[in-house]
Amino acid sequence: MDIAPEHSGTASGMMNTMNQPTRTSHEALQIADIGVSPELYDFVNAEVLPGTGISSEPFWKGLSDLIRDLVPTNEALLDKRAALQDQIDHWHRQHRGAAFDAGAYRQFLVEIGYLTDAGAAFEVATAGVDAEIAHIAGPQLVVPVDNARYALNAANARWGSLYDALYGTDAISEGLPAPSGGYDAVRGARVIAYVRAFLDTHFKLAQGSHADAQSYAVKDGELVVGLPNTVQTTLSGNDALVGYQGPATSPAVLLLKHHGLHVEIRFDRTHPIGKTDAAGIADVVIESAITTIQDCEDSVAAVDAGDKVRIYRNWLGLMKGTLQATFPKGGRQLVRTLNADRAYTTPAGGTLTLPGRSLLLVRNVGHHMVTGAVTFKGEPVPETFIDCAITSLIALHDLNGSGAIRNSRAGSIYIVKPKMHGPAEVAFADQLFGRVEDLIKLPRNTLKMGIMDEERRTTVNLQQCLRAARQRVVFINTGFLDRTGDEIHTSMEAGAMVRKQDMKKAKWLDAYERNNVDIGLACGLRGKAQIGKGMWAIPDQMAEMLKAKIGHPKAGANTAWVPSPTAATLHAVHYHMVDVGQVQTELSHRQRAALDDVLTPPMAVPPSWRPAEIDEELNNNAQGILGYVVRWIDAGVGCSKVPDIHNVGLMEDRATLRISSQHVANWLHHGICSKSQVLQALQRMAKIVDQQNAHDPAYQPMTGNLDHSIAFEAACALVFEGRAQPNGYTEAILRAHRLDRKAASAARA
């Protein structure tokens, strides 16, 4: 097979071609000390390297050197995780049945090196950070980058129609029927009233209300609003108007600004809504998803080189600005691309340009995952090495400015690092980032790091974790879901855990959420990094989200995760209601959360559930496990809205799977239920999950074929082997069964 031609700007393409390894179409290429999948090799050479200024041979040789040098450290860190867990398990077994002694437990964790000295106070020194991370508080989307349409939707969710978000959800639906068919004037009137109240609250007029406005114009650099009886008024604050489109006397768009977020009032008297509005307002569009994490980790199902190439190709399209998705809608084919930037005339007559897209971060996988796309000594290599090298290489296209659309205007690449355990692992990630910068010829600290506070050893050593990445850190967040899974596994031997619904009432959770903000503020993240909060996992319940999620900015978080562009638009309202900067100033003086509270396991003392309650919990967990796993194994879908046992759609990914599988494993270990009970629950719920997926013509039912269902087998393994899985992670079992499923499908073909 011919080698892919070299186009990366070297002096002699022919000479480089002669130096490339040769192979047949299915062999791994041996390059120095590593074997590389032909599919990955060809993709990088033909699609990624051209335009980066990086040549093929030094890239692959450098990657080989990186892998050879860093694999031993990665293995040692994983061994350290296991050794610490063994010691913790032993301590809990020794103290089982006794009242939990937080002080004795804390001292034990210090003695074994699990808890490290926090060291002297310091502030992070991250530089070259885009405003969307450093200064603007607003929602954050997380999206599987293997789905081009979803990736584009999320990237374009920087701006969203507040009218549409309110009208199309249950956000303002109390007492109203669900929207159906044509335009519902009653619902529409309620939406308009809500939005006018929003404008009155955050863009107050010197007199009167936006609800009574009959005209808007820009005169002498000031917004003039016409009210009934020829009354004219202006905004009570002169700095809110920052731009407009169209003629000043009759603008098509007005651009306002509050708490760093922009709001467009859009006028169109020919529009179905605008023509019925006294002022001609057709829509109000607000800045929504300020940042988006394009995810290579928990929300994707990537088990081989083909999967990884699909992920990397979409990330490449985003970085070059060329990604497209074609899909049917309303009887015709639509093509989705990245939105252009938005240009306005300023009140003083200048030009203002705003990004049309979210600032994009990319989440790599954790240190514990491996990929066969690249091998070292015949074994799969740490996948995070490959993710870091290739996603960074791809992002060179953005830094080089080769496309019409830019992501980072500050010249940085933002990589979110999940599932790190403590300061040594963060320091190792910092080392990996430095090696990749050298590999692709970037200045030191161009690669910025997001540290996900989702493992307990990171939580209790967060200050030292930040110190280990003090030149790079741009993001910390609390991830209740993975953090709960880790809490259950870390304290597996302590006793039976409380029911999942009671986990949010446990002492450790509030302390954990407070600790993250307290440490972030103390280490100087304000103005340099995001302090984030976790996901709203019920995408169809926006009214409840509006009630609950305002708690995140009130807690001092300048970003929080949402499940959809619509949810981002609604959550953005909270950042107008709450001045996060002021909240952070106030919180910086409070007493820190107690470490002993963070370390208190959420045990049921003593367990006292009725048989019906145990069955209910098992059914709930089993249904959630199967509903997610069957799509992961059979369809390769890593994140989806999965109906729960009550048919409420929940966003599920590997974090929720980790909780459910570890929870059942814990109850099984402590005799709350038997293996037979768990198996019966899984068998019962398989029927329910089959019924919930009956509308999908490609779905293969588990019922009637349980002995041969790879998905059902995987679900069982997650539970019955859950206690033995490192840190309770689900990836190894999922990956093995997905590969089996792919092999079976290939054999049938």
Catalytic amino acids? 363, 653
Q: What is the 3-state secondary structure (H, E, C) of 234-254?
A: EECCCCCEEEEECCCCCCCEE
Question: Are the CB atoms for 377 and 67 separated by under 8 Å?
Answer: no
Side-chain-facing half-sphere of 62: CA atoms under 13 Å: 18
- Which one-letter DSSP state was computed for residue 656? H
Beta strands in 497-635 (DSSP E): 530-533, 559-562
Per DSSP, the three-state class of 381 is strand
Please report which helix (H) or strand (E) contains residue 390, including its range: helix 383-399
Residue for token digits 């404008």?
Answer: 199
- Which one-letter DSSP state was computed for residue 83? H
Residue for token digits 């390769």?
Answer: 636
**CA atoms of 242 and 259, how far apart (whole Å):** 13
Q: Residue 263 is which amino acid? A: V
**CA atoms of 519 and 534, how far apart (whole Å):** 17
**CA atoms of 519 and 588, how far apart (whole Å):** 9
**CA atoms of 272 and 257, how far apart (whole Å):** 27
- Which one-letter DSSP state was computed for residue 708? G
Q: Residue 468 is which amino acid? A: A
Cis ω for the linkage preceding 606 (within 30 of 0): yes
CB count, 10 Å around CB of 627?
Answer: 25
- Which one-letter DSSP state was computed for residue 160? E
**CA atoms of 372 and 302, how far apart (whole Å):** 11
Nearest C-alpha neighbor of 160 from the set 195, 212, 209? 195
Question: Are the CB atoms for 66 and 439 separated by under 8 Å?
Answer: yes
Question: Are the CB atoms for 294 and 145 separated by under 8 Å?
Answer: yes
Per DSSP, the three-state class of 18 is helix
Q: Which two tokens stand for residue 143?
A: 């999206």
Q: Which residues of 392-424 are buried (b: 16+ CB within 10 A; e: fewer)?
A: bbbbbbbbeeebebebbeeebbbbbbbbbbbbb
Largest CA distance in the chain: 83
**CA atoms of 349 and 18, how far apart (whole Å):** 59
Question: Are the CB atoms for 354 and 245 separated by under 8 Å?
Answer: no
Length of the chain equals 749
Beta strands in 306-457 (DSSP E): 325-329, 332-336, 342-345, 351-354, 359-363, 370-376, 379-382, 413-417, 447-453
Angle (CA) 313-319-324 rounded to 5° is 60
Question: Are the CB atoms for 607 and 666 separated by under 8 Å?
Answer: no
Q: Residue 596 is which amino acid? A: D
Residue for token digits 């089993």?
Answer: 622
Contacts of 478 (CB under 8 A, 6+ apart): 453, 454, 512, 513, 516, 532, 533, 534
- DSSP labels, 145-177: TT-HHHHHHHHGGGEEEHHHHHHTSSTT-TTSP
**CA atoms of 385 and 211, how far apart (whole Å):** 56
**CA atoms of 548 and 118, how far apart (whole Å):** 33
**CA atoms of 60 and 62, how far apart (whole Å):** 5
